[in-house]
A and B are shown apart, each in its own frame.
Chain A
Amino acid sequence: MESIRTNKLCYKIGDKVILDDINLEVPRGSVYGYLGRNGAGKSTTIKLLLGLLTSKHDNIFIQDRSLKSHPTAIHSLTGNLIEAPCFYNKLTVFENLKYLDLIYGQGTERIEEVLELVDLHREKKKQASSLSMGMKQRLGIAMAIYHDPELLILDEPLNGLDPQGIFEMRKLFQSLNEQGKTIFLSSHILSELERVATHIGIIEGGKLIFQGTKRNLLKEVKRTVVLKISSAESATELLTSKDFSVSLDDSNAIRVEIASDQQLNELFKILVLNGIDIYAVESFGADLEQIFMNLISQAND
């Protein structure tokens, strides 16, 4: 079941197409990383999902409800942080959450609980405008999770946080996800997204060029295996004849490109059956950043 589903979501400004037939499928309970370059259409998608921009058609469904027909019900189920954090400068940290409390009616205990979660309890009496950039980001996250939403939509939530803050936020997102919350987040810190996300969507030029589990995405990409073996030259000849992409690394090591686990198994079998001893294996998997760059260049080709 999907937490977010869009059906051929399009958005234009004048003649310029910003989003072109986006079919998002964000499974419930997932952490969905939404990747794209600047101007690819990430923030526009997020604003459409939150109803801050209006889609002409009834093609956005959140928790199985149409955004067009049930905007307020959907807003009560979602928390958000879009680009820069939003809060009221003249209110203190506590008062910003109290403002939300007057709407949601969750009580002062919930305010304290959320402040503990984002580690802002010591700053609760400080005026929001006087907070550091990282603390403002934490306040934005506190305001997003205050009403315990089932779905969190976060656009660049790690902006302005120091490494300790990023670590704590990752822990927070993981713990919220373990509680069953769906998290839809975009971030330019790909290494962080790689650690947190279970699903990935990649947008380029307004088009969704990949969507699926992180495992599937990583599977699609070739990795390089470096083997330390007894006879590198004969192994190179042998593997080349079997359609492997091989190169000599040094006198007793070869570098082989592997597309799947089956191919890796085949590689070992060939070497062992031909009497070549294997002393060491090193595998270099492509990280999300490489995959992202590859997909973007493929899409542009």
Chain B
Amino acid sequence: MINSFYRAYISEQYKLSKNRQLFWVLLFPVLIIFMADSYILYEATRSEIVGSVPNPWKLLLGRYVFQFFYLIYPILIAIFVYACCDVEYKNNNYKILFTLPVSKAKIFFAKAVFIIVVVLFSVLLAYFFFLLSGFTLSRLVPELGFQNYDYREVIFFTFLRLFITLSAIAMIQLALSLVVRSFIFPMGFSMFMIVFSGIAANKEFSDFIPYTGSIKSLTNIMSENISFERLDYSNLVMAGIFLMLSFYLFKRKGAL
């Protein structure tokens, strides 16, 4: 059957997987972890940190990696989501999309599911590389003490909550990219929200700003916080709300 979600999904996946931005969103977090590892190794050779850090998962790897994740991940997501919408703006390809014998709902949800799947794979890849780099460092420089701590539970929950945050951010960026064609607006909004969430992170209302989740992933890994909080539930709701808002915008969209 032509008008099926499966066909809509595989065709969207085929088309969108040709975007260079896909590789950035998948590989850049891994690159950050690799660079953090290299820096830790460099520091270790200078013997300044060997034996002096109580929990290297938290105070070395976690701190270095999540300081970058907090700033870079929302921007990577914004670029990737924009690229997924931009392929349709170029040559007015909405004309192809809206004259396919597939309903608009199936096309939209295929696109949204693909975005969420890529975000999931990106976070999963980062999670595995994070664990792998800790275990590798424990073998290469046992003096750092990675092997003395079992931090897997905290790492798992930190990445899980990061995934929820990034899903909400992806849906907000999807709505923005469907409203405006310009690259500047969704990117500028994303950058502004990163700065704003950094300033407002300690305020109560910050739980209702999904972008705060990225800075809180740093505080979560540092404070060993594994409990789900209001921010995480709010982000789940936000992801749903912005998914439906994006669907509404997509349905209203014409190909003029």
Assess the B8–A88 pair: CB atoms within 8 A. Answer: no
Nearest opposing residue in chain A for B18, CB measure: A90
Chain A interface category by residue count: 20 to 34
Assess the A76–B101 pair: CB atoms within 8 A. Answer: yes
Q: Using Cβ atoms and an 8 Å threshold, which residues of chain B touch A91?
A: 15, 18
Nearest opposing residue in chain B for A127, CB measure: B18
Nearest opposing residue in chain B for A75, CB measure: B101
Assess the A102–B7 pair: CB atoms within 8 A. Answer: yes
Nearest opposing residue in chain A for B87, CB measure: A88
Assess the B8–A103 pair: CB atoms within 8 A. Answer: yes
How far is A76 from B1 in the complex, measured between Cα atoms in Å?
Answer: 11
Chain B interface category by residue count: 20 to 34
Nearest opposing residue in chain B for A73, CB measure: B101
Residue in A52, A87, A95, A103 whose Cβ sees the most chain B Cβ within 10 Å: A103
Q: Using Cβ atoms and an 8 Å threshold, which residues of chain B touch A52?
A: 95, 98-99, 254-256
Nearest CB of chain A from residue B188's CB, rounded to whole Å? 24
With beta carbons under 8 angstroms apart, the residue of B10, B90, B96, B100 that contacts A89 is: B90
The answer to whether A45 has its CB under 8 Å from any CB of chain B is: no
Q: Using Cβ atoms and an 8 Å threshold, which residues of chain A touch B90?
A: 88-89
The answer to whether A80 has its CB under 8 Å from any CB of chain B is: yes
How far is A98 from B103 in the complex, measured between Cα atoms in Å?
Answer: 20
Q: Using Cβ atoms and an 8 Å threshold, which residues of chain A touch B254?
A: 52-53
With beta carbons under 8 angstroms apart, the residue of A53, A82, A88, A103 that contacts B2 is: A103
The answer to whether A17 has its CB under 8 Å from any CB of chain B is: no
Assess the A99–B11 pair: CB atoms within 8 A. Answer: yes
Q: Using Cβ atoms and an 8 Å threshold, which residues of chain B touch A75?
A: 99-101
The answer to whether A157 has its CB under 8 Å from any CB of chain B is: no
Assess the A105–B19 pair: CB atoms within 8 A. Answer: no
Q: Using Cβ atoms and an 8 Å threshold, which residues of chain B touch A50?
A: 99
Q: Digit string of B27-59 for contact with A (CB within 8 Å is 1, else 0)?
A: 000000000000000000000000000000000
Q: Digit string of B89-110 for contact with A (CB within 8 Å is 1, else 0)?
A: 0111101101111110000000
The answer to whether A84 has its CB under 8 Å from any CB of chain B is: yes
Within 8 A of A (CB), among B1-25: 2-3, 7-8, 10-11, 14-15, 18-19
Residue in A75, A76, A78 whose Cβ sees the most chain B Cβ within 10 Å: A75
Q: Digit string of A70-104 for contact with B (CB within 8 Å is 1, else 0)?
A: 01110110101010111111110001001110111
Nearest CB of chain A from residue B95's CB, rounded to whole Å? 5
Q: Using Cβ atoms and an 8 Å threshold, which residues of chain B touch A51?
A: 98-99
Within 8 A of A (CB), among B201-256: 254-256
Residue in A50, A52, A87, A95 whose Cβ sees the most chain B Cβ within 10 Å: A52
Q: Using Cβ atoms and an 8 Å threshold, which residues of chain A touch B87?
A: 88-90
Nearest opposing residue in chain A for B92, CB measure: A86
Q: Using Cβ atoms and an 8 Å threshold, which residues of chain A touch B100?
A: 75, 103
Assess the A105–B2 pair: CB atoms within 8 A. Answer: yes
Within 8 A of A (CB), among B94-143: 95-96, 98-103
How far is A87 from B97 in the complex, measured between Cα atoms in Å?
Answer: 10
How far is A41 from B11 in the complex, measured between Cα atoms in Å?
Answer: 33
The answer to whether A143 has its CB under 8 Å from any CB of chain B is: yes
Nearest CB of chain A from residue B183's CB, rounded to whole Å? 15
Assess the A86–B18 pair: CB atoms within 8 A. Answer: no
Assess the B101–A72 pair: CB atoms within 8 A. Answer: yes
With beta carbons under 8 angstroms apart, the residue of B19, B91, B103, B256 that contacts A72 is: B103
With beta carbons under 8 angstroms apart, the residue of B7, B19, B95 that contacts A103 is: B7
How far is A103 from B9 in the complex, measured between Cα atoms in Å?
Answer: 9
Nearest CB of chain B from residue A297's CB, rounded to whole Å? 31
Assess the B14–A102 pair: CB atoms within 8 A. Answer: yes
Nearest CB of chain B from residue A266's CB, rounded to whole Å? 53
Nearest CB of chain A from residue B99's CB, rounded to whole Å? 5
Q: Using Cβ atoms and an 8 Å threshold, which residues of chain A touch B92?
A: 84, 86
How far is A71 from B91 in the complex, measured between Cα atoms in Å?
Answer: 23
How far is A73 from B15 in the complex, measured between Cα atoms in Å?
Answer: 23
How far is A100 from B99 in the complex, measured between Cα atoms in Å?
Answer: 12
How far is A98 from B14 in the complex, measured between Cα atoms in Å?
Answer: 9
Nearest CB of chain A from residue B134's CB, rounded to whole Å? 37
Residue in A91, A95, A99 whose Cβ sees the most chain B Cβ within 10 Å: A99
Lowest 7 A-B CB distances belong to which pairs?
Answer: A76-B101, A102-B11, A75-B101, A86-B96, A72-B101, A52-B255, A90-B18
- Can you list 6 A-B pairs, Cβ within 8 angstroms, ordered by A? A52-B95, A80-B95, A85-B91, A99-B11, A99-B15, A102-B14
Given contacts A88-B91, A99-B11, 20 further A-B contacts (CB under 8 A): A51-B98, A52-B256, A53-B254, A75-B99, A80-B95, A80-B99, A82-B95, A85-B91, A86-B92, A86-B96, A87-B91, A88-B93, A91-B15, A91-B18, A95-B18, A98-B14, A102-B14, A103-B2, A103-B102, A105-B2
